[in-house]
Amino acid sequence: MMRTIFMIVMILFTASTVTAQQVAVLKYGGGGDWYSNPTALPNLVRFCNETISTSIDADTETVDPGSVDLFSYPFVHMTGHGNVFFSPEEADNLRDYLLSGGFLHIDDNYGMDPYLRKELGKVFPNHELKELPGDHPIFSYAFSFPQGLPKIHEHDNARPQAFGIFHQGRLVLLYTYESDLGDGWESPEVHNDPEEVRLKALRMGANIIKYAFEN
C-alpha cells in the first residue's frame, strides 16, 4: 500500500514539474565510468530533433538512480566500461520509475556486462533479460534495421544483441550489448568512425528514443 502511494506521488510530482521534454544520463555508483561518451546523448538528441520531429531539450542532464528527479525524465541512458552498483534503495527507486512509465536504455561501452547483470537482479529479481527478435518494432520504429541491432564497434567480434525487460507487455528496459551505439553517437573526431557507421548508430538511437517516448 505504501509503495503504491509512493508511486502515485512520484507520478504527480513529474506531471507538475516537467515543462519540456528532457533526457538524462544515469550517474550510478560502483566506480564505473558512467560519464563516458559525453557527446553521445546530446548528439543523439540533436539528430532526433532534426530527423524524427522530436522537441527534446538539447541540454541533457545527469540523474542519480535513487533520486526523485529520476521521475522527471521519460528516457534515461546508462553506459560505461566497468563496475556498476545499486544500493537497495536505488534499485527500488529504479524499479518504481520503470513500472510507472519510465524507460532505461543501457549501452555496454565494453566491460560492464557481468556487473550490470548482477545489479539488474536487484532491480527486477523476478524478471530476466530476454533477447529481442529481429522483428521487434524497435528495429523499424523510425528507421529500418531488418537484421536487428547494428554493429558499431568490434570489441570481441561477437554478435550484437538487444535484450529487454518487459512489464505487462511494455518494454521498460533495453540493454544493447556488443554494439556500442554510444560510441557511434559521439562527435566524429572522437572515434573517427566512417559517416555511414555513425549514421547507423544515430538512426538506431532515434528508433529507441521514438519507441520510448511513444510506448
Segment (H or E) for 96: helix 88-99
The structure's pTM equals: 0.90
Identity of the amino acid at 138: I
pLDDT tens-digit series, residues 119-173: 999 999 999 999 999 999 999 999 999 999 999 987 777 899 999 999 999 999 9
CATH of the domain at 69: 3.40.50.12140
Between the two ends of the chain, the Cα-to-Cα distance in Å is: 26
- pLDDT reported for residue 191: 81
**pLDDT at 20 (0 to 100):** 59
CB 9 within 8 A of CB 25: no
When pLDDT is averaged across residues 30-50 and rounded to a whole number, the result is 96
161: containing domain: 2-214
Decide: 209 and 54 in contact? Cβ < 8 Å: yes
DSSP for 2-69 reads HHHHHHHHHHHHHHHH--SB-EEEE--BSS--TT-STTHHHHHHHHHHHHS---B-SS-EEE-TTSGG
Supply 131's cell numbers.
Answer: 533477447
The pLDDT assigned to 6 comes to: 44
1 within 8 A of 37, measured Cβ to Cβ: no
* Contact indicator for 165, 173 with CB cutoff of 8 Å: yes
Buried b (16+ CB within 10 A) or exposed e, 34-60: bebbeebbbbbbebbbeebebebeeeb
29/31 Cα distance (integer angstroms): 6
Contact assessment for residue 105 and residue 76, using Cβ atoms and an 8 Å cutoff: yes
Is residue 194's pLDDT more than 50? yes
The structural domain count of the chain equals 1
Beta partners for residue 105, in sequence order: 77, 174
Q: Partners of 26 in the beta sheet? A: 63
